[in-house]
Structure 1
């Protein structure tokens, strides 16, 4: 028996006020979307918790990662497995994952990525003792393939075997590489071989070597006094464009930095530096036109999607604000786009997956509600 994850099907449209960067001229019009919060359909006996990540495969099936431990009031048999697959119509196909023999399951699920061969990569973000210092790979049927690193074994930014509470993963099938935003415990972007898990390279902010020791958090007014930190603090998202440019979200420094595939620094764009929450740039995805003209950035702390002109790295607008309705967000975390340009957003506090469907019928948004700080997702 199938039911919708929420009570009512709600579709809406919105436009957003342009927010050009100082000294930049936006070259692209602001895109418009309809919003659907009722698309996913689950078996009636399975409950889901915090939705933390989404990834679209080559068949436009959506894979979702959630945190079963955040479900309350249900027996284990009535909690959905952490990894779930949905078809193009949002129907539940299968689920798997969780602790098992031969591998170390994360203590706090965080991200997933899909390779062209169907392999599914998983990261965890637990930082405490025995933290999530590993990545896991499963095939599309849920069979364990490989583990990179070991629980609680990280030796820091110079470690070539272990990550340290990695936040996000991007699989480049052409290069046969996995780009990992190793940013809760470390301050780096690290690249592993897709088929062997071997270390290839790493870099920090501005393409420099990551710091030897974990730096402290940035001062609250660092950008107001003109300070541009030379290190990452909260490497949370990573995405590679078709042209080979790698984009890394430095969440606590409210910026996206762009690099060549081998770590040469190119440019950066700041994301909502003056917004109420300093925890901004989280997940990254692109539009599906050949040039990938638009970059969409989930601003987790301020509950919105920021739209960037990828060519000139300028902000051209925002989508949404804090709320429960369609077109509103609560903790937008990691995001992805399918072949039709539909954007999927995993909302941690909202405990849902919302999809943004391209539309040419905009209407004016309601006034924003002031954002409130959230705990680390």
Structure 2
């Protein structure tokens, strides 16, 4: 195994052709695990993105690169505290204010679009009661805690949620105009429901169907038709009927890293209680992050539903928040990138056999490091983007600098 410094492998052409970028590139921790296989190399762009001077990013539980190579970030303004928002509460003459939930950046990191919030979704809600009896009342459809982001070829935006009662996926135009929804807030009905969701964590839309990782209350994948959003399929681990029950009560942040399941079980017959991502691979297979069980399961669709293809086990002994958080692919389809939340790494796998080639990143707060690594995506030239939640609260850009020899 060989440790690699990203900048040491950077070609002279990159340095000559993009001096402004090269000046802000920072080495990242990485390791080439299998030296018989070439591995992409990366350096983090410490100047990216360029937020407006009065803006501070909150937790970022969603990420998408669109067909124009613009980068979309899902933001939680509700994760920002009093000291973060000095410009809003009158305690600072300089910074900062909370940005809205949906942010679009160009390749240079400039902010192009910003929108989000309850006013854009159907319904209204109020809070009633006192103390422990205080509850949300009404039919407000905007999630209390947004989670998961997908931007389709038409630049329509899909958003999920994992807060109290967030059993809904919302669909908007690129400018935030509401289009339609799947499910209804405050309504859930278990793993076999064909109508209601249970804290959907992620969404994938391909023009033919909508896949939902219905994974913080329920433990399943559910598929709907692209045009009418009619139910098509649902399944659990290994392509079987979803098992393992549902989460009792609402999900809260304390449950992200503590559970009574006795530890990850990469051979579990059911998904764990955080089914965290769903996406299609270049060969049209479906990749599902079973984060609790430190694995990604791969499926292939058939005329009757889906068939199980393979388990990809990521650092199986890991505890805490566990590993498999998100999946993305290199532009040529050769590599799979798996975000590992607990270990603060992006694993690089060869897609044809899912053999681990290497990894980059580590836990920490400096550029190229991660705190609660959440999401990963890739642009058309192979640059990798990541987001973080909890106290991480940022998006990072990793410039592809070349390949190992």
Q: TM-score range by the shorter chain?
A: 0.7 to 0.9
Change (3 A) 1:118 1:360: closer
CA shift, 1:17, in A, is: 2.8
CA distance in 1, matches of 2:263, 2:167: 32
CA shift, 1:183, in A, is: 0.9
Aligned: 1:241 with 2:284: no
CA shift, 1:148, in A, is: 1.2
Change (3 A) 1:228 1:46: same
Give the conservation status (yes or no) of the 8 Å contact 2:291–2:325: yes
Name whichever of 302-311 and 229-238 sits farther off. Answer: 302-311
Give the conservation status (yes or no) of the 8 Å contact 2:324–2:341: yes
Give the conservation status (yes or no) of the 8 Å contact 2:160–2:202: yes
1:265 equivalent among 308, 317, 336: 308
Deviations 1:311-333 (A, max 9, x none): 11222222111111222111110
Give the conservation status (yes or no) of the 8 Å contact 1:15–1:32: no
CA distance in 2, matches of 1:305, 1:19: 13
CA distance in 2, matches of 1:267, 1:39: 36
CA shift, 1:133, in A, is: 0.5
Helix, strand or coil at the partner of 1:69: helix
Task: Give the structure-2-normalised TM-score.
Answer: 0.79
Match of 1:183 in 2: 215
Aligned: 1:93 with 2:112: yes
2:335 equivalent among 288, 294, 319: 294
CA distance in 1, matches of 2:40, 2:403: 10
Aligned: 1:213 with 2:222: no
Aligned: 1:141 with 2:180: no
Aligned: 1:359 with 2:378: no
1:29 equivalent among 32, 38, 48: 38
Change (3 A) 1:222 1:107: closer
CA shift, 1:42, in A, is: 2.0
Q: Which has the higher helix share?
A: 2
Q: Report matched runs for 1:320-335 at 5 Å.
A: 320-335=361-376
Q: Which residues of structure 2 form unaligned runs of 5+?
A: 1-22, 90-95, 124-140, 249-258
Give the conservation status (yes or no) of the 8 Å contact 1:16–1:317: yes
Give me the CA root mean square deviation.
2.2
Give the conservation status (yes or no) of the 8 Å contact 1:16–1:30: no
CA shift, 1:115, in A, is: 1.1
Total equivalences in the alignment: 339
Deviations 1:96-133 (A, max 9, x none): 1110252510011111101111110000011x4xx111
2:345 equivalent among 298, 304, 307: 304
Change (3 A) 1:14 1:78: closer
Match of 2:230 in 1: 198
Aligned: 1:165 with 2:165: no
CA shift, 1:337, in A, is: 0.8
CA distance in 1, matches of 2:30, 2:52: 36
CA distance in 1, matches of 2:271, 2:26: 37
Name whichever of 70-79 and 164-173 sits farther off. Answer: 70-79
CA shift, 1:161, in A, is: 1.4
Helix, strand or coil at the partner of 1:359: strand
Helix, strand or coil at the partner of 1:43: coil
Say which one has the larger Rg: 2
